[in-house]
Structure 1
Amino acid sequence: MFGRKKAATEARDAAAQASAEATPPAEGPHDRSVVPDVREYFSDLGYGHIDLGSLVIGVPQGRDLNVALDPKGQPEFHVVTQVSRVIPRAFAAPKTPGQWRTMVTDMREQLEKQGADVSVVDGPWGRELVAELPGAVFRAIGMDGHRWTAEIRVMATPDNADAAAEEGREVFRHLIINRGDGPMPAKEQLALTIPDEIQAALTQARQQVAAQQQAQAYQQQMAAGGAQQPAQGSASAGAAAQQAQAQAAAAQAQQVQQAQQAQGGSTPAQPAQQPAAPRRDASAMDRLREDDDL
């Protein structure tokens, strides 16, 4: 009799555990292993999303997903509104927690060297770094998961800093991280799997940047009086042609995208605009991204 009761209790406990494992907790970020159906998860939230393999980013209603090239020419995905720009990232981490604390310390030291007014405050997930820059507020929110560390970086104007923080937290709590099982150095950023259509647009953006740089270099040579050689003239013509081709391809891609949006988007979020060159706000955040440890 007691054996049957014990068996029934164990069965109920096992069923409850299975149910808990099948339902992601309300507060993320989540490990991919606890999200059975990514599309259903974001559909239930009313979000769009983009699946980048190691990182799935949810896009709440009323927000755009932009793609940009960082200073190293690598793609970044930004969730943006008129209030904030939120950049999610994920890194490999040791089995033991503590990497986020180290990352916060490193960022603080670097920002203080650049003259920023930096503080560390308590947030829903623990430490948040806040740096006041000329005309902007930078906030970093992160946490350690199972052999990974998730992070978002939020940029906003000082007047919008508090609202931007809340928008960033909303994105952060629904990130999904798929670290994989292979060995990776700690703090190494998880590689993203870029959808083909976005990869093609990024290639066009890189070509456009390269053509613009070639054209600018030639113009500088002309201004310095060193552009009289035929070979340089030929290079100028090639640069101009390449730039024109890149711009035409980018315009065509944008027209296709606008047509798709006019027909109504699917659940996965689509980029709101063409990938851009490194942004003109060469701020402390951009300089931070040049540090491989961050």
Structure 2
Amino acid sequence: MFGKRKGSSDDRYPADDYDDEYGYDEDDDYDDNAYAAADYREAGAPRSGPYDFADVADLLEQVAEQRLDLGSVILPVPQGGQLQVEMTPDGTPQAVHLATEHGRITVAAYAAPKSAGQWRTVAADLADSLRNDGARVAVETGPWGRELLAVTEGADLRFIGVDGPRWMVRLVAAGPSGASNDGSPLVAAARAILRETVIRRGDDPLPVREPLPVVLPQELSEQLAAAHQAQVDAQQQQVAAQAAAPQMGPGGLPPRMPDGPRRGVDGSAMQQLGLN
């Protein structure tokens, strides 16, 4: 890791109890070294992340091969984790998910003002939106303060947010029933990943809450492009094969062509339409 574990900031936000069925357990038993790529307990090293790129750029070079660089977000990848890339209709990478045996973890960064507090506002809006969609929502207090736990029809979700210098990072841990409870393996993995996440904000002026762009590594981008092209080629071949196949009649035989124009009482079909 880049530094020591960050102390709890429980006093930063009060723990609002949205729904009575959820409580907060102060025992935090996740493994501090579960997904650490390296141990950087050096004198003067910054405390536990998420980190701003400018603060750890030199240290990051030592573990670059063990990190997934997505441009605005640099992540440690848990052992056995698989990448899932979500693309927009025009082929632009929109999100990268880390699929683990316990559930899926998604980390995204957003532009924020210089003053902290954006996550508090985002969390309130998010809680309202989730409730409107029928989810049961509770606010719990984690290592960085406010966390949202939502039980939906399809999955349990935990949202963890952290305010940084002109950025805000949000992690979503999604899994089956109970997977997003405090102290679960999925939440332990999520918090360990977030402690080692690096945010590269950049200097461009951006609207508040604007997602910071996701840039795929060249090798991954080439693999996705090749897979997409292979899928397009297969679809084109299927369409061409269907167009080339003869239209078969009953018994697998080509349909019989009529001997001549069908005639009615007033002449052929063509004549009736005034085209002959």
Q: Report Cα offsets for 1:72-120 as digits up to 9, x if no partner.
A: 5534222232112111111110001111111111211111111111111
Is contact 1:151-1:172 (8 Å) kept? no
| Counterpart Cα distance in 2 of 1:209 and 1:118 | 40
Aligned-pair identity in percent equals 34
Amino acid at match of 1:68: V
Evaluate the alpha carbon distance shift between residue 188 and residue 238 of structure 1 in structure 2; reply closer, same or farther with a 3 A threshold.
Answer: farther
Evaluate the alpha carbon distance shift between residue 42 and residue 129 of structure 1 in structure 2; reply closer, same or farther with a 3 A threshold.
Answer: farther
Greater shift in the superposed pair: 158-167 or 66-75? 66-75
Instruction: Report matched runs for 1:111-260 at 5 Å.
Output: 111-161=130-180, 162-207=184-229, 236-237=239-240
Amino acid at match of 1:142: G
Q: May I ask how many residue pairs the two structures share in their alignment?
A: 196
Is contact 2:84-2:99 (8 Å) kept? no
The answer for unaligned runs of 5 or more in structure 2 is 1-42, 244-276
Instruction: Report matched runs for 1:42-57 at 5 Å.
Output: 48-57=66-75
Evaluate the alpha carbon distance shift between residue 149 and residue 204 of structure 1 in structure 2; reply closer, same or farther with a 3 A threshold.
Answer: same
Cα offset for 1:202? Answer: 2.6
Amino acid at match of 2:240: A
Is contact 1:90-1:150 (8 Å) kept? yes
**TM-score, L = length of structure 1:** 0.59
Is contact 2:82-2:100 (8 Å) kept? no
Evaluate the alpha carbon distance shift between residue 239 and residue 182 of structure 1 in structure 2; reply closer, same or farther with a 3 A threshold.
Answer: farther
2:76 aligned residue: 58
Cα offset for 1:192? Answer: 2.2
Cα offset for 1:164? Answer: 1.2
Greater shift in the superposed pair: 102-111 or 147-156? 102-111
Cα offset for 1:238? Answer: 8.6
Q: Residue 91 in 1 paired to residue 110 in 2?
A: yes
2:51 aligned residue: 30
Amino acid at match of 1:29: P
Is contact 2:162-2:168 (8 Å) kept? yes
Cα offset for 1:56? Answer: 0.5
Q: Report Cα offsets for 1:212-248 as digits up to 9, x if no partner.
A: 9x78xxxxxxxxxxxxxxxxxx9932999xxxxxxxx
Is contact 2:71-2:214 (8 Å) kept? yes
Bigger Cα Rg? 2
Is contact 1:32-1:178 (8 Å) kept? yes
Is contact 2:84-2:98 (8 Å) kept? no
Instruction: Return the match for 2:99 from 55, 80, 89.
Output: 80
| Counterpart Cα distance in 1 of 2:163 and 2:204 | 18
Cα offset for 1:31? Answer: 0.4
Cα offset for 1:55? Answer: 1.1
Greater shift in the superposed pair: 73-82 or 194-203? 73-82
Cα offset for 1:155? Answer: 0.6
Amino acid at match of 1:174: E
| Counterpart Cα distance in 2 of 1:239 and 1:173 | 53
1:109 aligned residue: 128
**TM-score, L = length of structure 2:** 0.63
Q: CA RMSD, aligned part only?
A: 2.9
Cα offset for 1:209? Answer: 6.6
Cα offset for 1:58? Answer: 0.8
